[in-house]
Amino acid sequence: MYPELGQIALILALLLAVLLSVVPLAGALTGRDSLQAFARPLASGMFVFTGLAFAILTHAFIVDDFSVAYVANNSNSMLPWFYKFSAVWGGHEGSLLLWILMLTGWTLAVAVFSRKLPSTMVSQVLSVMGMVCVGFFLFIIVTSNPFDRLLPNVPTDGQDLNPLLQDIGLIIHPPMLYMGYVGFSVAFAFALAALINGRLDAAWARWSRPWTTIAWSFLTIGIALGSWWAYYELGWGGWWFWDPVENASLLPWLSGTALMHSLAVTEKRGVFKSWTVLLAIVTFALSLLGAFLVRSGVLTSVHAFASDPERGSFLLMLLGITVVGSLALYAFRAPVVHVRSRYGSLSREIFLLLNNVLLVTATLLVAIGTLYPLVLDYLDMGKLSIGEPFFNTTFSPLAIAAGLLLGTGIFSRWKKTDGGWLGRKLLWPLAVSLVASVAVIKMYGDFKPWAFAGVFTAIWVTVATLWDLWDKSSSRKGRLHGLKRQTRSYWGMVLGHLGVAMVMAGATVVSNYGIERDVRMVPGDSAMVGDYQILFKEIGDRRGANFTAQYGSFDVLLDGKKVSELHPEKRNYPVGMSVMTEADIDAGLFRDIFVAIGERISDEAWAIRVQYKPLVRWLWLGSLIMAIGGFLAIADKRYRIKARNEAADKARAGNLVTGKHAEASS
Amino acid sequence: MHPIRKKRLTIVLFLVAGLAIAVGLTTYALRQNINLFYDPTEIAAGNAPVDVRIRAGGMVEAGSVVRDTETLKVEFKVTDFSASVPVEYVGILPDLFAEGQGVVAMGRLNNEGVFVADQVLAKHDENYMPPEVADALEKSSKAQNKAADVDKAAETTAY
């Protein structure tokens, strides 16, 4: 009974979405307030019905209703309750429902937090969101109904959740990632609304900025969680594989980062407008591309659930309509924009433009590396794969260039920066960074050019960011007062850039100075990894809730003193007949020691993987700091006060141009 | 020059430079890092290049896995049921590696016709089959019009 209600709720939500995509837009175009007034109630209704469907599916999981095909395929009565809960999005249909729940959630959020915006703008934005919702509701109802029943032959038990997905990282990774992916639809909706009514101005940029930033922050956390999960759960200590599915999440992140920065320029200086709109469209299209790649079955990976071609073509169609429709609108409407302000060839605008060029180039490279093999395969021109080295050789120089530019750009001014002044300004920070990077590299060992470049870039970004903070916070009333005077969006930028520096430092050091060894060990043996000695004490059996395991015991010793004790496992899940390696990690701020059990070689000997991973935590900590920066930035007062008063806006822009305090750029 | 034109020129120059660097890096990196896929029939027929990094895949032949007890060396045969290729690998195999399962290996073919793998990938879960392997199996079973049991094996393992 309940599952059918869930299905009805979804269909009702679809009908509301259809109304939402037509009625308020018609109201906005004809100037009828009565029609525009429908926007908010429709958005709320859509969210309520989707939430109901989601609750019903969750209920089916909790009560083990195996007559629902999706539950039977992804759960089992022996599964602990929290995994039953997260199994709701452990497969294709449920994760799509989660995606839609978030999409309607974002729509509702726009409806709630846009009270101060002109009502035509709100109606148009919500209508565009409604159109996106229609696409996804049709997708789930037509191709991937999570409420399909297995009647009358109800299985007595489910097939279990893929053991890889039975993990805390996976409870939160997809929701975060989807919040990001889906969140970019708001920036997209704002961009389309601006194109429809021809209002591409600073006010528009200010409205869509916080939405972009918050989506970007969620996406950052989502990607970092995925990387963290791969590191400890896939069992072999890698943190980024340039797997097409990872790339699918990196693509909107890269173009989203470009979008955040170009939105900043559009808001502050009123330039780059058409470019910003284009980026908003591209970023959302890349989110859809990601969904298509992961869900269509063109890729095979952990994320590609049993998939069928019908879904692929449906998503491709959705992507095609979005891209063609929005680009056509762009082509007709964008050129209307007039640029009023000017900027010199050495100015913050130029630095941010370069930042955009680099980020877009990186997006293109990752896209080429990801799509090229797929296109060739589709055209039947042979099967090939593009390996990690491709991405490493092309991506690293771009990342380093972007970092060097970032540090320099921080000191630049809007409109015009004097070259000689900038040069003198950079001298000391450069010297400090150079000395610091030499010291860091010496500490880690051999000199490697790429390692040096990466470490230098990370330190340079840090030094420049802090130097600028020091300069800005000087005040006659004391340093503390100066620090307090900085806006939240400025602090957001500082944290964002420090986070980037941490990720760069982590990535560089762990890939250049990490040690990975596969060794044959019998209990009693020990192996060295870096300065650490790993002692294999014993291995025995252990029983878990829904698995049995071989349970190893290892001591980690440094200079003969015991640092920690690790218990990696090799688990056997009888329901799905699958084997899982659970690594154990002694985690630290500056290094991880990683031990995983491989296969049994002989009666007493085992293949053991031991790893020393310096600064690997910085990858995820840095990402978290970046995301916190994003959340802090949107808490800035100016997004809440007077969003409407255009005259005040202009006066404010005027103040900024005088350049007294050139504040946050991102 | 007119300042607006000058600015536009700078922007265009930056864009062109960025694009040129990107294209250069891409072609350079692509040339080095494209790994072509060969199935066991092609390798056995000598159609695969020697000492070039390639991908090979098929099913692990039943009873072919030989493990050295003193080191991490493993030898096994990969088959598409019409030809098989010996594979050598030193290291830890993935969890789901087993006889009768589909695998994809990266590595180089040596002069003796042995595929020296530096990476072995197995399926992610019990329902998954590397698409290259599924294709290779389908091809070989079509070519030979093999007995029904082989077809069935390919069918049950392909999605």
- A236 pLDDT exceeds 90? no
Taking CB atoms and an 8 Å limit, are A580 and B6 in contact across chains? Answer: no
- A382 pLDDT exceeds 90? no
- B59 pLDDT exceeds 80? yes
In B32-51, the residues whose Cβ lies within 8 Å of chain A are 32-37
**Given B6, B33, B69, which is nearest A601 (Cβ)?**
B69
Convert the pLDDT of each residue in A571-609 to its tens digit.
888 877 778 888 999 999 999 999 999 888 888 899 999
Minimal CA–CA distance to A264: which of A344, A309, A208, A221? A208
Find the helix or strand (DSSP H, E) in which B60 lies: strand B53-60
Q: What are phi and psi of A369, to 5 degrees?
A: -60, -30
| Tokens, residue A148 | 């399909």
Distance CA A571, CA B96 (A): 12
Convert the pLDDT of each residue in A451-493 to its tens digit.
999 999 999 999 999 999 999 888 888 888 888 888 899 999 9
Q: How far is A50 from chain B (nearest CA, A)?
A: 31
Report the DSSP beta bridge partners of residue B53: B108
Distance CA A562, CA A566 (A): 11
pLDDT at A251: 96
**Given A372, A393, A578, which is nearest B96 (Cβ)?**
A578
Please give the average per-residue pLDDT across A189-217, as a whole number: 91
pLDDT at A136: 94
Confidence (pTM): 0.88
Least confidently predicted of A174-188, A381-395, A434-448: A381-395
- B136 pLDDT exceeds 80? no
Comparing alpha-carbon positions, the chain B residue that sits nearest to A398 is B22
> Can you state the angle between helices A273-295 and A168-197, rounded to 10 degrees?
140
B158 has a chain A CB within 8 A of its CB: no
**Is the CB of residue A238 less than 8 Å from the CB of residue A230?**
yes
The band of A640, judged by pLDDT with boundaries at 50, 70 and 90, is low
Distance CA A137, CA A134 (A): 5
Taking CB atoms and an 8 Å limit, are B72 and A607 in contact across chains? Answer: yes
Distance CA B157, CA B127 (A): 7
The band of A562, judged by pLDDT with boundaries at 50, 70 and 90, is very high
In B49-108, the residues whose Cβ lies within 8 Å of chain A are 55, 67-72, 90-93, 95-97, 106
pLDDT at A244: 83
The band of A340, judged by pLDDT with boundaries at 50, 70 and 90, is low
Minimal CA–CA distance to A101: which of A60, A56, A133? A133
Distance CA A465, CA B13 (A): 28
Q: How far is A634 from chain B (nearest CA, A)?
A: 30
- A662 pLDDT exceeds 50? no
- A67 pLDDT exceeds 70? yes
**Given B30, B95, B97, which is nearest A580 (Cβ)?**
B95
Distance CA A112, CA A241 (A): 40
| Tokens, residue A600 | 């049994």
- A343 pLDDT exceeds 80? no
pLDDT at B144: 54
Distance CA A524, CA A518 (A): 17
* Maximum average pLDDT range among A174-188, B18-32, B57-71: A174-188
- A379 pLDDT exceeds 80? no
Calculate the average pLDDT of chain A: 87
Comparing alpha-carbon positions, the chain B residue that sits nearest to A597 is B92
Which residue reads 């979405």 in tokens? Answer: A17
Comparing alpha-carbon positions, the chain B residue that sits nearest to A344 is B7
Three-state DSSP at B71 gives coil
Distance CA B107, CA A384 (A): 13
| Tokens, residue A195 | 């194109």
Distance CA A368, CA A286 (A): 13
Minimal CA–CA distance to A68: which of A150, A153, A156? A150
Distance CA A549, CA A33 (A): 65
Least confidently predicted of A256-265, A396-405, B90-99: B90-99
Calculate the average pLDDT of chain B: 76
B14 has a chain A CB within 8 A of its CB: yes
Please give the share of chain B, as a percent, with pLDDT higher than 70: 74
Comparing alpha-carbon positions, the chain A residue that sits nearest to B122 is A301
**Is the CB of residue B30 less than 8 Å from the CB of residue B75?**
no
Distance CA A318, CA A142 (A): 13
- B132 pLDDT exceeds 60? yes
Which residue reads 């290996």 in tokens? Answer: B105
Please give the average per-residue pLDDT across A557-564, as a whole number: 92
**Given B25, B36, B124, which is nearest A397 (Cβ)?**
B25
- Chain B residues in contact with A382 by the CB 8 A cut-off are 36-37
- A263 pLDDT exceeds 70? yes
**Given B22, B128, B131, which is nearest A365 (Cβ)?**
B22
Taking CB atoms and an 8 Å limit, are B69 and A609 in contact across chains? Answer: no
Contacts of A105 (CB under 8 A, 6+ apart): A47
Question: How many Cβ contacts (< 8 angstroms) between chains A and B?
Answer: 117
- A540 pLDDT exceeds 70? yes
pLDDT at B124: 53
The band of A60, judged by pLDDT with boundaries at 50, 70 and 90, is very high
B15 has a chain A CB within 8 A of its CB: yes
- Chain A residues in contact with B125 by the CB 8 A cut-off are 162, 164, 576, 578
**Given B14, B67, B131, which is nearest A601 (Cβ)?**
B67
The predicted complex's ipTM stands at 0.72
Q: Are strands B115-122 and B84-90 parallel, antiparallel or unpaired?
A: parallel
